[in-house]
Structure 1
Amino acid sequence: MKKDVKLYNMILPPFMLFFFVPTLWIVSALGNFIIDSIVLLIISIFIYKKFTWQLYKKSIIPVFLFGFLSDFLGVLYLMAISIGSGAEYYEGNDIGKQILSGIYLATNHSCYDSIYGVLFIVSGILFSSIFIFAFNYRVSFNNKGLSKKQKIIASLTMAIITAPYTFLLPKELFYP
């Protein structure tokens, strides 16, 4: 006797695809490396007032790896809050339930369905950005011949420009 297998509602938020589609790791890593390289080269020009391969060669691998790790930590943060909140859709005027509904809508539909959903996803982007800044300041740009001010500017620039803004992409782009 043949057993029918059915999958019901197996749709994930875009930021969770990272865990379940390993080919996305390669595409994401390549995209991150290219963006990190461009930003690092621009930073090199503005900090040194000229282009130098020295900063690029010494920094690109840690910048890339810690940036990728920071994006991963942002995904874990969003997943932990999403799962931990037991998010469901609620109706009513209770602010707590509206926030939980926003998290539910952001993870199961689109973050743009609720202001709280947008704020939830933006908090994940900020979470990742803090790690990007910290890793770059403490490790990637440490002992590279930069002053404290230059390290802060370089780290802040990397954190702002390379933040995982793709978390804001609507799920409809991934699921027709």
Structure 2
Amino acid sequence: MKRDIKLYNLIFPMWSIYFFGLLFPVFLLILLPANFLVDSLVLLLLFQWLKMPEKKAWYQKTILKTWGFGFLADFLASGIFWILSEGLSAVFQDADVNLYLPYSSIPSFLFTTAAVLLAGIFIYIFQRKFVWKKYALEEGQKKKIALGMAVLTAPYLMYLPPM
């Protein structure tokens, strides 16, 4: 008798790397500096686009909070979707849906898209509530910066299939 065994849970999807960063610190050595560089570049581009005076001063005041809360948003979204994937993989196993491969099926793609969107929403909320709340900027500028950070720094690497 031949059995077809599928080992979906042995594969690490790209979005779970954020969540497993705490368990395997070597991931953090790659993720933290990469996130810092991306957040720095996007923040400086947003300052340039909004024609903000004293870009360097604003950057120095906000980059660490921007970076920390951005990583926290990615981590939270990844953790939520890792937990959901554990429960849903059993549900979809009979339907031959692999949530770890974003382009393998429509449910997998939608699952990954939901994870990216959730992270973007967290980034926006954290930017508005914790990073820019106390600074004397126009509300429109705060919203544009928060939205720009959410859209441009959402963890699109979650769309990469596992290695």
TM-score, normalised with respect to structure 2: 0.85
**1:127 to partner: Cα distance:** 0.5
**CA distance in 1: counterparts of 2:110 and 2:130, whole angstroms:** 30
4+ residue stretches of structure 1 with deviation over 6 A?
none
Percentage of pairs with the same residue = 30
The equivalent residue for 1:60 is 63
Q: 1:88 to 1:115 in 2, by over 3 A?
A: closer
**CA distance in 1: counterparts of 2:54 and 2:156, whole angstroms:** 28
**1:132 to partner: Cα distance:** 0.1
Q: 1:145 to 1:46 in 2, by over 3 A?
A: farther
8 Å CA contact 2:73–2:122 kept in 1: the answer is yes
Please show how residues 80-159 of structure 1 align to structure 2 within 5 Å: 80-85=83-88, 86-91=90-95, 101-102=96-97, 105-107=98-100, 110-159=101-150
Listed one character per residue, the Cα deviations across residues 122-167 of structure 1 (whole Å, up to 9, x for unaligned) are 0000001001000001111122221111000000000000000010
**1:42 to partner: Cα distance:** 1.1
Unaligned runs of 5+ in 1: 1-7, 92-100
The size of the alignment, in residue pairs, is: 152
Kindly indicate whether structure 1 or structure 2 has the higher relative contact order, using CA contacts under 8 Å at least 6 residues apart.
2
**1:44 to partner: Cα distance:** 1.4
**CA distance in 1: counterparts of 2:136 and 2:47, whole angstroms:** 12
The equivalent residue for 1:95 is none
**CA distance in 2: counterparts of 1:49 and 1:68, whole angstroms:** 25
The equivalent residue for 1:4 is none
**CA distance in 2: counterparts of 1:13 and 1:40, whole angstroms:** 28
TM-score, normalised with respect to structure 1: 0.79
Unaligned runs of 5+ in 2: 1-5
CA-atom RMSD, angstroms? Answer: 1.9
Listed one character per residue, the Cα deviations across residues 32-79 of structure 1 (whole Å, up to 9, x for unaligned) are 000100111111122234562121011101100000000001111211
